[in-house]
Amino acid sequence: MKNRIITISREFGSGGRTIGKEVAERLGIPCYDSELLEKIAEQSGFAKEFVAEQGEYAAGKSWFSQALAGRDYRGHSYQDDLWLVQCRVITELAQKGPCVIVGRCADYILRNKANCLRVFIHADMKSRAKRIVELYGDRSDSPEKRLQDKDKRRMAYYQFYTDMKWGDVRNYHIALNSSKLGIEKCVDILADLY
């Protein structure tokens, strides 16, 4: 496959989704994020809300809880079915042409299938907390607790399905701190690397 793909993994609240969309816009290529959810829902038959929650987040906060959650007597779960569809959809999108894919373990799924630039976006807790309050509003839980919960569940999901550590810089070509660099500078760097 000769297509150039950018995969963006990100901490919750780091601006990774925004960076991905802006990079794609600047490069004139598609960005798959919510569109990816729709395609996976369509092909899997699962509701879009189920795909949004179960296609990137573990049921619990650990690999062990993920290994036991929602499994039948054979050790199979609906999340396993969703994983297979997600792998197929991401691979098909990468085969169509250059694009940016946000989340959903795309870095792992395409590791041997496409010419990828694998990116991890992170930020300090204070910046992330401020961002999620601005984007999603106040909730009963503190922003820091919400961030920690989402990140732990992403980490457990990633480890369960990839057997790799989410956020480990060795899994990515570049890691960018959006709270230090700013969203626009991150976009500039990724567009230049493309």
Domain boundaries, the chain: 4-193
> pLDDT band at 50, cuts 50/70/90?
confident
In this predicted structure, the answer to whether residue 67 has a pLDDT above a threshold of 90 is no
Interval 139-150 mean pLDDT: 88
Handedness of CA 10, 13, 14, 16 (dihedral sign): positive
Whole-model pTM? 0.87
The chain-wide mean pLDDT, for the chain, equals 88
Query: So what's the pLDDT on residue 61?
Result: 56
Q: Which CATH number does 4-193 carry? A: 3.40.50.300
- Among residues 70, 95, 96, 73, the alpha carbon closest in space to that of 83 is found at 70
